[in-house]
Amino acid sequence: MITVVLAVQVSCTGTSSGIRMEQASDGLTSGGNLAMVAVRATALAAVRQPVTTTKLGLAVLWHRPREVVGANLPVSLKANSVSREAPGTAAFEESLDRMNAPAAETGKLRWLVDGPAFFQELDHRIETARHSIKLQVFIFDNDDIGVRYADRLKRRSSEIPVHVLFDDLGNTLAHLAAPKTSGPPGFVPIPNMAAYLRKDSATGARRTLSPWLACDHTKLIVFDQQVAIVGGMNIGREYYSEWHDLMVRVEGPIVRSLVTEFDRAWRRAGPWGDFARCSVTPPEGPSTNPITGAYPLRILRTDPAEGRYEILDATLLAIHGARKRVWIQNPYFAHDDLVLAAASAARRGVDVRVIMPQGADSTLMDAGNLSTARTLIHAGAKVFKYPRMTHLKAMICDEWASVGSANFDTLSMRINRELNLSFHDRSVIRELEQAVFLPDFRRSARILRNETNGLANSVAETIADQF
């Protein structure tokens, strides 16, 4: 079990294969923590979450072989017929409704690009919250940044309810590798973040269990039922100062639904597991008030235990329907259906541009990205390499966009829980262009076809397809 867990690390955690021990847990602590993850992911999950565990097992059993077989079948890259619904139109939104995607609700977004913008907003919201703080991340790291925010949340827990939720597998694996930049001299990593958050505080801290190595990759923070933050960043030094990434601040009535999303995950991670989900309680705290300048937003999920693949379905529908452009920035682009859809769009003359990291945090996923780049460039797309690690997940298709936690890989589209927001307001699309895509195109270098030759063999591609 532990050997398999370590293999999943390459894509599930975003940790490097390099050994940097300054802020990493020691071998004995890491081994013990991994052993406990294995116990919780098997015995504890079976007892607390029998329904979720069974559904996840069936989903993994179906999707894993499917990706291996599908990835190795000969597929024509000829341009396919364009969908009738162009993304950004009312007809496209009606198609999402027919696909049973959650109904659009009103809200308003503000872009938080890179660590300084996000963590400044986080600081402000933690200090000014008056009713509650609900924080869910994939990784709550045990480095100096993680400890700093744990201490701030613990202090506020004496004044208001504070609930912290993070993924068991992802968090434990993240503690195995230190960030590239050093922390304070003499700093010792926290061996157990859940225990540290609870110690001498009223903070509620829970782990989302990881049966079948399926993770909850969601990032969702809600303050006072009024303001939410979603996106790609976790709590840790990589996100604070090293990587390029994106979070969005959300206000308006849609925040109420985001509160419900958090509360469902919180109950499922509790001692009653699946059984607690039968007792539906209304969100605590004040109602969310309407705001001026709001526009339609739609919550999209990947949740195999609930049979929800809205992120993949909406993304494919948008790419197949694009008439003018498909702009993508993502650190891991390895899902074959998405690769073939983007290549097909490029072949029919759509402006397809993709930004990848110059070097991802995994050699294996680098191979998957280079294989994707080769396919897309051959089809006529433009592929760029960002000069450092970009962990940012965003896409614009014509006048429709999606941002959030989901990578363009099998884990995010089929196995892990993910949370994205989609929208089609033209002024907000322009904001995303100006905040992310246009500056990042300028910062990035074009990948040439010969740079992809011989760098991703068939074995590496097949393995990358599983992540």
What is the pLDDT at residue 62? 83
Residue pLDDT, tens place only, 197-238: 999 999 999 999 999 999 999 999 999 999 999 999 999 999
The set of long-range contacts for 340-343, using a CB threshold of 8 Å and a minimum separation of 24, is: 340/75, 340/77, 340/375, 341/316, 342/376, 342/379, 342/381, 343/77, 343/375, 343/376, 343/378, 343/379, 343/381
Tell me: pLDDT of 78 over 70: no
Per-residue pLDDT band for 359 (boundaries 50, 70, 90) equals confident
Of the given ranges (74-83, 138-147, 246-255, 432-441), which has the lowest mean pLDDT? 74-83
Tell me: pLDDT of 38 over 70: yes
Per-residue pLDDT band for 467 (boundaries 50, 70, 90) equals low
What is the pLDDT at residue 13? 60
Tell me: pLDDT of 14 over 80: no
- To which residue do tokens 């139109």 refer? 89
Per-residue pLDDT band for 385 (boundaries 50, 70, 90) equals very high
Per-residue pLDDT band for 4 (boundaries 50, 70, 90) equals very low
What is the pLDDT at residue 280? 53
Q: What is the mean pLDDT of the chain?
A: 88
Q: Is the pTM higher than 0.85?
A: yes
Tell me: pLDDT of 425 over 60: yes
What is the pLDDT at residue 325? 98
In CATH, which superfamily holds the domain spanning 23-63+107-278? Endonuclease Chain A (3.30.870.10)
Q: Rounded CA gap, 31 and 2, in Å?
A: 9
Instruction: Report yes or no: 218 and 174 within 8 Å, Cβ to Cβ.
Output: no
Instruction: Report yes or no: 212 and 57 within 8 Å, Cβ to Cβ.
Output: yes
Residue pLDDT, tens place only, 91-139: 999 999 999 999 999 999 999 999 999 999 999 999 999 999 999 999 9
Instruction: Report yes or no: 255 and 108 within 8 Å, Cβ to Cβ.
Output: no
Tell me: pLDDT of 378 over 70: yes
Per-residue pLDDT band for 454 (boundaries 50, 70, 90) equals low
Tell me: pLDDT of 32 over 50: yes
Options 3.40.640.10, 3.40.50.720, 3.40.140.10, 3.30.870.10; CATH for 76-103+295-464 is 3.30.870.10
Q: Do domains 23-63+107-278 and 76-103+295-464 have the same CATH topology?
A: yes
Residue pLDDT, tens place only, 295-331: 999 999 999 999 999 999 999 999 999 999 999 999 9
What is the pLDDT at residue 73? 54
Tell me: pLDDT of 161 over 90: yes
Tell me: pLDDT of 16 over 90: no
Looking at per-residue confidence, does 367 or 145 come out higher?
Answer: 145
Q: Rounded CA gap, 167 and 218, in Å?
A: 9
What is the pLDDT at residue 366? 78
User: DSSP assignment, residue 209?
Assistant: P
What is the pLDDT at residue 322? 98
Q: Rounded CA gap, 28 and 18, in Å?
A: 18
Range 136-165 burial, b when 16+ CB lie within 10 A, else e: bbbbbbbbbbbbbbbebbbebbeeebbbbb
Average pLDDT for 13-41: 71
What is the pLDDT at residue 19? 42
Nearest to 356 by CA among 327, 318, 315: 327
- 364 phi and psi, to 5 degrees? -65, -45
Cα diameter, the chain:
62
Per-residue pLDDT band for 176 (boundaries 50, 70, 90) equals confident
Helix ranges restricted to H, 13-49 = 27-39, 45-48
| Residue ranges per structural domain of the chain | 23-63+107-278, 76-103+295-464
